[in-house]
Amino acid sequence: MKLHIPPALQHYRYRYLWLGLLISIAGSQLQFAAIHWHIRDLTGVPDPMALGGIGLARILPVIIFSIIGGTVADNFNRRNILFITQSILAVQALVLAYLTYSGLITIQYIYILTAVQASTMAFDLPARQSLIPNLVPRDVLPSAFSLNSIAFNVGAIGGPLLLGVVPEGALEYAYILNSISFLAVLLALFLMGDVPQNINKAGGINFSAMWEGVRFIFKRPLISSTMLMDFIATFFASANTMLPIVARDILDVGKTGFVWLTSAQAMGSVSAGLVVSQLPKIRKQGMLFFGSVLVFGFATILFGFSTTFALAMISLFLIGAADAVSTVIRNTIRQMQTPDHIRGRMTSVNQIFFMGGPQLGEVEAGLVAVAFGVPFAIISGGVGCILGLGFVAWRWPQLMAYNGDEPTLAGAPAD
């Protein structure tokens, strides 16, 4: 297959945003990995519950603020919202760096600052995701979302690898680099200029407008079923917070091995995302979606059985590749089936599902790991993912039969 410039990058507003995210996400993923390693250092011993607790700090603010964040994204200029949220995230990283440098840092402070970050993301993500259909025409949305996946996963590779060069006992440098990385998105938002947005039907900031978003989703089985599948898969098969224990206490590969294991999943996602971004149109999307989740579950089981570094890397690579394919299809279905005036609210409800799954899954994995050990927690999660897939296939057969045909919706621009 001859490589060409992905269609979405031919639209300059999206190109600015994508390049900014490419840098910023690397910083965010650097901080994400650093926090997990930091908690393991602060506990001094393997403590799955201390690592799992970070999931609660991330998901509770999302549950509380997400619907509000989506309503705000539909009623106010999404580009301006991102200026505010990205600035707050930069300050949060600086505070984390200061506390670490001064020696005042504790697990409790990490939890609190993580909750601040998650609260901000509850407003940032609906605005960012619903902005994308305002930047590119609807026929290139699959390309845009596959490129989003690539940006996220390039950052998920580069961020943890950067942690490998951060000196031992100097994690504040990781947090400072993350703070600086947000300047890339702020510059991109400035360069792209005004972005047209339909707010005439948004309905204002009130309970009725928020409930409209929830009602919209659950009246559309294609959207609600993909959200439920996303939650089930990531709830049971979320093993990322166990990686410090796998690297340090099971595989005995230390910090260097940890950063490579953390990056392996993203390497698989980037590889799959590059392939998908080149496709002009994806057919049989439902079957492809179910197949990718099935691979995700089996690869998780394989990772749980891994006793060598090589097998663990291969398993995580497969997990990432499968997740990238399902993510592109899920996002394309949701955005193309949702009118512009309600996209922020749809994304905010989706945020509860796709963030709630892995974050609550980290708590679940921590509890199971305490009771039965880390390998059992990972293996049983993969089995739960596959069983959940079977339930969704039985309950919503129209999702498996979905072929990529979409209704025509307003709100997608011409460049």
**Cα–Cα distance, 99 to 121 (Å, whole number):** 22
Please give the model's pTM, rounded to 2 decimal places.
0.70
Angstrom distance (rounded) from CA 51 to CA 144: 33
Extract the tokens encoding 129: 């995701």
Q: pLDDT category, 411, cuts 50, 70, 90?
A: very low
50-54, 80-84, 202-206, 305-309: which is most confident: 80-84
Work out the number of other CB atoms within 10 angstroms of the CB of residue 137.
15
Taking only the tens place, the pLDDT of each residue in 382-393 is 899 999 999 988
pLDDT confidence of residue 413? 43
The 10s digit of each residue's pLDDT in 170-197 is 788 889 999 999 999 999 999 988 887 7
Q: Encoding tokens for residue 25?
A: 């996400």
Report which of 93, 131, 107, 126 is spatially closest to residue 39, judged by C-alpha positions: 107
CA dihedral 91, 96, 99, 104 (to 10 degrees): 140
> Are 343 and 411 contacting, i.e. CB atoms less than 8 angstroms apart?
yes
Which three-class secondary structure state does DSSP give residue 205? coil
Give pLDDT, residue 6.
Answer: 76
Q: Is the pLDDT of residue 344 over 50?
A: yes
Please state, as a whole number, how many other Cβ atoms lie within 10 Å of the Cβ of residue 305.
13
Contact 376, 239 (CB under 8 A): no
- Whether the pLDDT of residue 18 is over 60: the answer is yes
pLDDT of residue 282: 67
CA angle 213, 219, 225 (to 5 degrees): 95
pLDDT of amino acid 233 = 83
Amino acid sitting at position 232: I
Whether residue 15 has pLDDT greater than 70: yes
- What pLDDT was estimated at residue 412? 40
Mean pLDDT, rounded, of the chain? 82
Q: What is the mean pLDDT of the segment spanning 70-82?
A: 87
